[in-house]
Chains A and B, each alone.
Chain A
Amino acid sequence: MRIAFFLAIVVFAGTGGEMLVAHATKQIARRRPVTRPAVIHLIGHAVRPGAIWAGLALQAVAFFALLALLSWADVSFVVPATALNYAVGAAGSALFLRERVNRVRWAGVLLVCLGVGVMCASER
Protein backbone atom coordinates (compact mmCIF):
# COMPACT_ATOMS: atom_id res chain seq x y z
CA MET A 1 0.00 0.00 0.00
CA ARG A 2 2.82 2.38 0.99
CA ILE A 3 4.74 1.45 -2.19
CA ALA A 4 1.69 1.99 -4.40
CA PHE A 5 1.05 5.38 -2.75
CA PHE A 6 4.63 6.58 -3.29
CA LEU A 7 4.68 5.20 -6.84
CA ALA A 8 1.55 7.27 -7.53
CA ILE A 9 3.33 10.36 -6.12
CA VAL A 10 6.36 9.72 -8.37
CA VAL A 11 4.25 9.28 -11.50
CA PHE A 12 1.62 11.98 -10.94
CA ALA A 13 3.83 14.63 -9.32
CA GLY A 14 6.58 14.04 -11.91
CA THR A 15 4.36 14.29 -14.96
CA GLY A 16 2.22 17.01 -13.34
CA GLY A 17 5.37 19.07 -12.78
CA GLU A 18 6.53 18.62 -16.35
CA MET A 19 3.07 19.55 -17.66
CA LEU A 20 3.04 22.75 -15.58
CA VAL A 21 6.44 23.71 -17.05
CA ALA A 22 5.13 22.91 -20.56
CA HIS A 23 1.99 25.00 -19.93
CA ALA A 24 4.03 27.98 -18.64
CA THR A 25 6.50 27.96 -21.56
CA LYS A 26 3.60 27.82 -24.04
CA GLN A 27 1.99 30.82 -22.30
CA ILE A 28 5.24 32.81 -22.60
CA ALA A 29 5.68 31.83 -26.26
CA ARG A 30 2.06 32.83 -26.97
CA ARG A 31 2.77 36.37 -25.75
CA ARG A 32 6.00 36.62 -27.74
CA PRO A 33 6.75 34.06 -30.48
CA VAL A 34 10.05 32.27 -29.91
CA THR A 35 12.40 33.25 -32.69
CA ARG A 36 16.14 32.59 -32.49
CA PRO A 37 17.05 35.95 -30.82
CA ALA A 38 14.11 35.52 -28.43
CA VAL A 39 15.35 32.21 -27.03
CA ILE A 40 17.32 33.98 -24.28
CA HIS A 41 14.18 36.03 -23.55
CA LEU A 42 12.16 32.82 -23.19
CA ILE A 43 14.67 31.21 -20.83
CA GLY A 44 14.95 34.46 -18.83
CA HIS A 45 11.18 34.81 -18.54
CA ALA A 46 10.66 31.10 -17.91
CA VAL A 47 11.88 31.47 -14.34
CA ARG A 48 9.27 34.15 -13.56
CA PRO A 49 5.83 32.48 -13.75
CA GLY A 50 4.62 30.68 -10.64
CA ALA A 51 3.67 27.68 -12.79
CA ILE A 52 7.35 27.02 -13.56
CA TRP A 53 8.28 27.06 -9.87
CA ALA A 54 5.23 24.97 -8.97
CA GLY A 55 6.26 22.52 -11.71
CA LEU A 56 9.83 22.34 -10.41
CA ALA A 57 8.54 21.88 -6.83
CA LEU A 58 6.32 18.99 -7.97
CA GLN A 59 9.30 17.41 -9.74
CA ALA A 60 11.32 17.76 -6.53
CA VAL A 61 8.50 16.01 -4.59
CA ALA A 62 8.55 13.23 -7.22
CA PHE A 63 12.34 12.94 -6.90
CA PHE A 64 12.26 12.56 -3.09
CA ALA A 65 9.35 10.10 -3.32
CA LEU A 66 11.47 8.12 -5.81
CA LEU A 67 14.39 8.08 -3.35
CA ALA A 68 12.06 6.83 -0.58
CA LEU A 69 10.60 4.20 -2.93
CA LEU A 70 14.08 2.99 -3.87
CA SER A 71 14.87 2.45 -0.18
CA TRP A 72 11.89 0.06 0.20
CA ALA A 73 11.57 -1.68 -3.18
CA ASP A 74 13.91 -3.21 -5.77
CA VAL A 75 15.20 -0.86 -8.47
CA SER A 76 14.20 -3.55 -11.00
CA PHE A 77 10.59 -2.96 -9.94
CA VAL A 78 10.69 0.80 -9.35
CA VAL A 79 12.25 1.99 -12.60
CA PRO A 80 10.04 -0.07 -14.96
CA ALA A 81 7.00 1.02 -12.94
CA THR A 82 7.89 4.69 -13.44
CA ALA A 83 7.61 4.11 -17.21
CA LEU A 84 3.91 4.71 -16.46
CA ASN A 85 4.98 8.38 -16.67
CA TYR A 86 4.71 8.18 -20.45
CA ALA A 87 1.12 6.90 -20.41
CA VAL A 88 0.07 9.39 -17.71
CA GLY A 89 1.87 12.17 -19.62
CA ALA A 90 -0.03 11.38 -22.83
CA ALA A 91 -3.38 11.22 -20.98
CA GLY A 92 -2.62 14.42 -19.03
CA SER A 93 -1.61 16.26 -22.21
CA ALA A 94 -4.92 15.35 -23.82
CA LEU A 95 -6.97 16.26 -20.72
CA PHE A 96 -5.25 19.38 -19.38
CA LEU A 97 -3.07 20.78 -22.17
CA ARG A 98 -5.74 20.06 -24.83
CA GLU A 99 -3.23 18.29 -27.09
CA ARG A 100 -4.58 15.84 -29.67
CA VAL A 101 -3.11 12.44 -28.84
CA ASN A 102 -4.09 10.20 -31.74
CA ARG A 103 -3.85 6.40 -31.96
CA VAL A 104 -0.40 6.43 -33.57
CA ARG A 105 0.99 8.60 -30.76
CA TRP A 106 -0.66 6.35 -28.16
CA ALA A 107 0.88 3.28 -29.82
CA GLY A 108 4.29 4.98 -29.76
CA VAL A 109 3.89 5.94 -26.08
CA LEU A 110 2.92 2.36 -25.16
CA LEU A 111 5.92 0.98 -27.08
CA VAL A 112 8.21 3.38 -25.20
CA CYS A 113 6.63 2.21 -21.88
CA LEU A 114 7.18 -1.42 -22.94
CA GLY A 115 10.78 -0.72 -23.99
CA VAL A 116 11.64 1.00 -20.69
CA GLY A 117 9.97 -1.85 -18.82
CA VAL A 118 11.92 -4.53 -20.76
CA MET A 119 15.23 -2.66 -20.29
CA CYS A 120 14.76 -2.31 -16.56
CA ALA A 121 13.29 -5.78 -16.01
CA SER A 122 16.45 -7.21 -17.61
CA GLU A 123 18.35 -5.82 -14.60
CA ARG A 124 16.79 -8.50 -12.35
Chain B
Amino acid sequence: MDDSPRLSRSLTLLLAVTVALGAIGEVLLAAGMKRVGSVVPESLAATSRLFITAFTAGEIWLGIGALLLFFAGSLVLLSKIDYSYLQPVSAAGYALVAVLGHTVLGERVTFWRWAGIGCIWLGVALVSHTSPRTTV
Protein backbone atom coordinates (compact mmCIF):
# COMPACT_ATOMS: atom_id res chain seq x y z
CA MET B 1 0.00 0.00 0.00
CA ASP B 2 1.21 3.47 -0.86
CA ASP B 3 0.85 5.89 2.05
CA SER B 4 3.06 8.60 0.60
CA PRO B 5 1.35 11.90 -0.22
CA ARG B 6 2.42 11.54 -3.87
CA LEU B 7 1.77 8.83 -6.42
CA SER B 8 4.68 6.52 -7.19
CA ARG B 9 6.21 6.87 -10.66
CA SER B 10 4.71 3.57 -11.88
CA LEU B 11 1.22 4.50 -10.64
CA THR B 12 1.50 7.97 -12.21
CA LEU B 13 2.43 6.31 -15.49
CA LEU B 14 -0.45 3.81 -15.19
CA LEU B 15 -2.87 6.66 -14.39
CA ALA B 16 -1.69 8.69 -17.40
CA VAL B 17 -1.90 5.66 -19.71
CA THR B 18 -5.37 4.72 -18.37
CA VAL B 19 -6.76 8.26 -18.83
CA ALA B 20 -5.19 8.44 -22.30
CA LEU B 21 -6.66 5.03 -23.27
CA GLY B 22 -10.13 6.20 -22.18
CA ALA B 23 -9.83 9.37 -24.27
CA ILE B 24 -8.34 7.54 -27.28
CA GLY B 25 -11.11 4.91 -27.05
CA GLU B 26 -13.82 7.58 -27.15
CA VAL B 27 -12.17 9.43 -30.05
CA LEU B 28 -11.84 6.13 -31.99
CA LEU B 29 -15.54 5.36 -31.38
CA ALA B 30 -16.43 8.88 -32.56
CA ALA B 31 -14.23 8.49 -35.66
CA GLY B 32 -15.82 5.10 -36.42
CA MET B 33 -19.38 6.37 -35.99
CA LYS B 34 -18.65 9.45 -38.13
CA ARG B 35 -17.50 7.14 -40.91
CA VAL B 36 -20.52 4.83 -40.52
CA GLY B 37 -23.05 7.67 -40.46
CA SER B 38 -25.49 9.15 -37.94
CA VAL B 39 -28.02 7.00 -36.12
CA VAL B 40 -31.58 7.78 -37.27
CA PRO B 41 -33.78 5.06 -35.77
CA GLU B 42 -36.46 4.51 -38.44
CA SER B 43 -37.17 0.87 -37.65
CA LEU B 44 -35.67 -1.90 -35.56
CA ALA B 45 -34.32 -3.58 -38.70
CA ALA B 46 -32.66 -0.35 -39.92
CA THR B 47 -31.14 0.33 -36.49
CA SER B 48 -29.85 -3.28 -36.29
CA ARG B 49 -28.29 -2.94 -39.77
CA LEU B 50 -26.58 0.28 -38.71
CA PHE B 51 -25.10 -1.33 -35.60
CA ILE B 52 -23.90 -4.32 -37.65
CA THR B 53 -22.26 -1.85 -40.09
CA ALA B 54 -20.70 -0.03 -37.12
CA PHE B 55 -19.05 -3.25 -35.98
CA THR B 56 -17.37 -3.65 -39.36
CA ALA B 57 -15.42 -0.42 -38.78
CA GLY B 58 -11.88 -1.03 -37.55
CA GLU B 59 -11.95 2.14 -35.44
CA ILE B 60 -14.91 0.80 -33.43
CA TRP B 61 -13.02 -2.39 -32.50
CA LEU B 62 -9.85 -0.44 -31.67
CA GLY B 63 -12.00 1.91 -29.57
CA ILE B 64 -13.63 -1.00 -27.71
CA GLY B 65 -10.17 -2.51 -27.12
CA ALA B 66 -8.86 0.79 -25.74
CA LEU B 67 -11.90 1.13 -23.45
CA LEU B 68 -11.46 -2.46 -22.15
CA LEU B 69 -7.82 -1.64 -21.32
CA PHE B 70 -9.09 1.58 -19.68
CA PHE B 71 -11.45 -0.53 -17.50
CA ALA B 72 -8.64 -2.96 -16.57
CA GLY B 73 -6.34 -0.03 -15.71
CA SER B 74 -9.10 1.54 -13.60
CA LEU B 75 -9.52 -1.71 -11.61
CA VAL B 76 -5.82 -1.81 -10.80
CA LEU B 77 -5.79 1.89 -9.89
CA LEU B 78 -8.90 1.58 -7.69
CA SER B 79 -7.17 -1.17 -5.70
CA LYS B 80 -4.33 1.25 -4.94
CA ILE B 81 -5.78 4.76 -4.69
CA ASP B 82 -8.92 6.55 -3.47
CA TYR B 83 -12.02 6.66 -5.66
CA SER B 84 -12.38 10.33 -4.70
CA TYR B 85 -8.86 10.88 -6.13
CA LEU B 86 -9.20 8.81 -9.29
CA GLN B 87 -12.66 10.08 -10.35
CA PRO B 88 -11.80 13.81 -10.63
CA VAL B 89 -8.28 13.14 -11.99
CA SER B 90 -9.85 10.96 -14.73
CA ALA B 91 -11.71 14.09 -15.86
CA ALA B 92 -8.42 15.08 -17.51
CA GLY B 93 -9.74 12.73 -20.21
CA TYR B 94 -12.40 15.35 -21.09
CA ALA B 95 -9.62 17.79 -21.92
CA LEU B 96 -7.66 15.15 -23.85
CA VAL B 97 -10.78 14.22 -25.86
CA ALA B 98 -11.27 17.90 -26.80
CA VAL B 99 -7.62 18.25 -27.84
CA LEU B 100 -7.73 14.98 -29.85
CA GLY B 101 -11.09 15.94 -31.37
CA HIS B 102 -9.52 19.22 -32.50
CA THR B 103 -6.25 17.78 -33.80
CA VAL B 104 -7.33 14.35 -35.13
CA LEU B 105 -10.98 14.82 -36.13
CA GLY B 106 -10.68 18.51 -37.05
CA GLU B 107 -13.48 19.57 -34.68
CA ARG B 108 -13.83 23.26 -33.81
CA VAL B 109 -12.99 24.02 -30.16
CA THR B 110 -14.54 27.28 -28.96
CA PHE B 111 -13.09 29.72 -26.43
CA TRP B 112 -15.55 28.50 -23.76
CA ARG B 113 -14.55 24.89 -24.32
CA TRP B 114 -10.88 25.86 -23.81
CA ALA B 115 -11.98 27.77 -20.67
CA GLY B 116 -13.71 24.60 -19.40
CA ILE B 117 -10.58 22.57 -20.16
CA GLY B 118 -8.53 25.10 -18.17
CA CYS B 119 -10.90 24.72 -15.20
CA ILE B 120 -10.72 20.92 -15.38
CA TRP B 121 -6.91 20.98 -15.47
CA LEU B 122 -6.84 23.34 -12.49
CA GLY B 123 -9.18 20.99 -10.61
CA VAL B 124 -7.08 17.95 -11.54
CA ALA B 125 -3.91 19.78 -10.42
CA LEU B 126 -5.51 20.56 -7.04
CA VAL B 127 -6.73 16.98 -6.48
CA SER B 128 -3.35 15.56 -7.52
CA HIS B 129 -1.76 17.57 -4.70
CA THR B 130 -3.76 15.60 -2.12
CA SER B 131 -2.76 12.20 -0.78
CA PRO B 132 -3.83 9.54 -3.32
CA ARG B 133 -4.74 7.04 -0.61
CA THR B 134 -6.36 7.92 2.71
CA THR B 135 -7.73 4.50 3.71
CA VAL B 136 -6.10 1.25 4.80
Contacts and interface: CB of A to CB of B under 8 A. Distances in A.
A118 B82 CA distance: 26
A114 B119 CA distance: 7
Interface of B is mostly: helix
A33 interface: yes
Contacts, number: 141
Interface residues of B, number: 41
B125 A108 contact: yes
B79 A116 contact: no
21 contacts: A25-B78, A26-B78, A86-B91, A89-B87, A93-B87, A98-B135, A105-B127, A105-B130, A108-B123, A108-B130, A109-B88, A111-B120, A111-B122, A111-B126, A112-B119, A115-B91, A115-B121, A115-B123, A118-B112, A122-B111, A122-B115
Interface of B: 1, 72, 74-76, 78-80, 82-88, 91, 94, 98, 110-113, 115-131, 134-135
